[in-house]
Structure 1
Amino acid sequence: MSRVCAGVRGLRRGIMVEAGRDCKDVVTQLAAVSRALDRAGFTIVASGLRECMMRETEEELEKLFLALA
């Protein structure tokens, strides 16, 4: 999550743009943040899956997984 936070801070404050970074670098950073968020989401789901399965219906679990896509 620290990678996500650092990446977003750089993008949010416009640091990359203000520093004159190439568009390709900005898009690459956005993609890296997106992948890191995806991994974090899947990690959270995987670690809590047993508990979720006990509490949630199959339909609710399906909605949760689709929200990650």
Structure 2
Amino acid sequence: MTNTHSPSAPQPADRLVANRLKRAQGQLAGVIEAVESGADCREVVQRLSAVVGALDRAGFLIISHAMQDCLSEADEIEGATGRASGAEGGAKLSLDEVEKLFLSLA
């Protein structure tokens, strides 16, 4: 993710992504353990599905934050040039709104 702040100070969005990726990493370790112990294929596939879902959610989070950054930058540029900014009525979308919009397209 693009981080315009100090590289030594993780931003809240970076922490959220890292937490989701760590969760996926833990789930993947569970898949490997299940395979190595000869677990039932249904259990392995179910655990693998959880890993894929966690990675997808992390990817969507990264993209939604990037979209929010782009919207913020566009608002700043439009404000500096005197053009109207934001959506209808000038209201800026919240991060949750941007994420929901993106997920509705997936």
Deviation at 1:31, TM superposition (A): 0.6
The question of 1:9 aligning with 2:29 is answered yes
Q: Specify the alignment match of 1:58 in structure 2.
A: none
Poorly superposed stretches of 4+, deviation over 3 Å:
50-54
SS of structure 2 residue aligned to 1:21: coil
Distance 2:44 2:33 in 1: 10
TM-score, structure 1 as length reference: 0.61
Deviations 1:21-66 (A, max 9, x none): 1100000011100111111000010011144566xxxxxxxxxx9x
The question of 1:36 aligning with 2:42 is answered no
Q: Residue type matched to 1:41 in 2? A: G
Which consecutive unaligned segments of at least 5 residues does structure 2 have?
1-20, 74-101
Q: Specify the alignment match of 2:64 in structure 1.
A: 46
Q: How does 1:19-30 map to 2 (within 5 A)?
A: 19-30=37-48
Deviation at 1:17, TM superposition (A): 1.9
CA RMSD of aligned residues (A): 2.3
Distance 2:36 2:48 in 1: 16
Which consecutive unaligned segments of at least 5 residues does structure 1 have?
55-64
Number of residue pairs matched?
Answer: 55
Counterpart pick for 2:36 among 7, 18, 25: 18
Give % identity.
43
